[in-house]
Amino acid sequence: MNQEPELATEEQDLPEQIAIRLAKRERILASGHEAYPVSLAITSTIEDVRLKYPELEVDVATGETVGIAGRVMFQRNTGKLCFATLQSGLGARIQIMLSLDKVGEENLELYKELVDLGDHLFVSGEVITSKRGELSILVASWTMAAKTLRPLPNLHNDLGEEYRVRHRYVDLIVRDRAREVVQIRSKVMQSLRKTFTEDNFIEVETPMLQTIHGGASARPFKTHSNAFDTELFLRIAPELFLKRAVVGGIDRVYEINRNFRNEGADRTHSPEFAMLEAYEAYGDYNTMAKLTQALIQNAAMDCFGTLRVELEDGEVNDLSGDWARVSMFESLSLACGQEITPQTDIAVLKKLAEKEGLEIDHPQHGKYVEELWEHFVKGDLQQPTFVMDFPVDTSPLVRNHRSKPGVVEKWDLYIRGYEQATGYSELVDPVIQRERFVEQVKLAAAGDPEAMKLDEEFLKALEFGMPPTGGLGLGIDRLLMSLTGLGIRETIMFPLVK
RNA sequence: GCGCUUCUAGCUCAAUCGGCAGAGCAACUGACUCUUAAUCAGUGGGUUCCGGGUUCGAUUCCCGGGGAGCGCACCA
């Protein structure tokens, strides 16, 4: 990666184009004008003008004078008549025209000398159409609204991936899709909150800095508090705090916030990612499945007005109807050609895993089952599918199944081959929860870096009585991926870069 | 963390076998009162990611470092 030039260095060291723009800024100031004025007499947005005059005839004058601001995206200067295209933050464009007989020789020359591509410009003038029919502002006066010191990239090639991520603000200026994704993300968040509000859930915020990290199996980021002189962890999940809220009587509660996991990054994983978790007292994993489907379907409808969402590559993600449910053990048995149950001997699982060439890190019964399931079944789940009833030993925070021995009431929702959400009938029995934690501690002692810690304060909360509760976790970034077909780094405005 | 690929002008990309580092857009100078990525003529712009090595000569080959992309591993 190139070293970026810094403006503080001597002018001669600067790239030509920056030096020239700095000089133009000086000329503006020297002539008694401002390069970055504090306020402008704006009367309309570019969008307003376009909306008001959707279809004017060729070469008309409306008689209406407007003051608008926008960024210069194209310039077409002739000797005595100059054209430019101004763009709003949302990407709307309008043409401006400066003619010699309207603004005078001095103003026209200054304009040609001082205005560059990328500058923010304010113009005041009449709304007209040109002789070619283009909706335009015939400029009576113009002022610099904000001088750009760096040149805009070439607008006729796609920006490189790295440049887009490191200079997202430029990406947002020059690429419609970049702006769209930001809009979609915002609409999705609004839609999720609307669904929750209509269902009487309330939104809370729980700690991101935690003394004990819990609620998921993952490696945390560590940090340190000077004031408390103690090691702290960035949260890997809000679960244990949201459950405390349910103990306290906040029966329908959700949080949308960032989680941090100190693990690999790829097309579907980011070190910090937005997570939605929700808990419903007197619900269970069935009610949470229903809620999850509603959240996602409402989001698709609110964003696109359809449940058949067209993705980046032109494929359609069909989110309509009631989503399929399959049992983990049954779908695995079917796919691998032999019956696998929670009672299947671990030696059988081990043999099957070896035959398939799977290497498994911290082998337990449930770990084998999940790995085998991912190997045999996962990739085939393109349509939204709830995978039901997981092994006990890999789900330490979930209640045992009400009728099937050896499994817990947990589902994972798969869309387009990756995990989109998970739902539980939460484990609320403090005695069993303590036993499960003890198991995790043993795993940690045996070297599993993702095993959970025993959280005494959380257990104490459960000992005050937690009602039967359904819980769900849903990855926001991944929902955006499902709705757009983009990679996770394109759904996050400023993903982590080194 | 491991493997493969990649890094050249402000941006997007070329450069034969190791032989003067180029194009388009952008910039600069000039012309042009209806352009739409305006057009026409001309000009300038490079620590070829960084540091070493081989060589008469390195963008090119070798070693080390850094960034990025892809695959694997881990994970959601």
- Contact between the CB of A12 and strand B at under 7 Å: no
What is the rounded average pLDDT for all residues in chain A?
A: 92
Predicted confidence at residue A13, as pLDDT, reads: 63
- Contact between the CB of A409 and strand B at under 7 Å: no
- Taking the CA of residue A14 and the C1' sugar atom of nucleotide B53, their distance in angstroms comes to 32
Would you tell me how many other CB atoms lie within 10 Å of the CB of residue A262? 14
Tens-place pLDDT, residues A391-437: 988 888 899 999 999 999 999 999 988 889 999 999 999 999 999 99
Tens-place pLDDT, residues A446-458: 878 788 888 999 9
DSSP state letters, A102-147 = HH-HHHHHHHHHH--TT-EEEEEEEEEE-TT--EEEEEEEEEEEE-
Tens-place pLDDT, residues A149-161: 999 999 989 999 8
- Taking the CA of residue A115 and the C1' sugar atom of nucleotide B39, their distance in angstroms comes to 20
Predicted confidence at residue A10, as pLDDT, reads: 42
For the cut 80, the answer to whether the pLDDT of residue A14 exceeds it is no
Express as a percent the part of chain A with pLDDT over 70.
97
Which positions on strand B lie below 7 Å from a protein C-beta? 1, 7-13, 24-28, 31-39, 44-45, 49, 66-76
Residues with Cβ within 8 Å of residue A413, at least 6 apart in sequence: A289, A292, A323, A384, A385, A386, A387, A419, A420, A421, A422, A423
Tens-place pLDDT, residues A202-240: 999 999 999 998 888 888 998 999 999 999 999 999 999
Residues of A from 311 to 350 whose C-beta is within 7 A of strand B: which are they? none
- Contact between the CB of A1 and strand B at under 7 Å: yes
Predicted confidence at residue A1, as pLDDT, reads: 34
Tens-place pLDDT, residues A259-311: 999 988 888 899 999 999 999 999 999 999 999 999 999 999 999 999 999 98
Tens-place pLDDT, residues A199-209: 999 999 999 99
Q: Which nucleotide is nearest to A75 (CA to C1')?
A: B38
Tokens 């399929």 found at: A324
Q: What is the pTM of this model?
A: 0.91
ipTM: 0.91
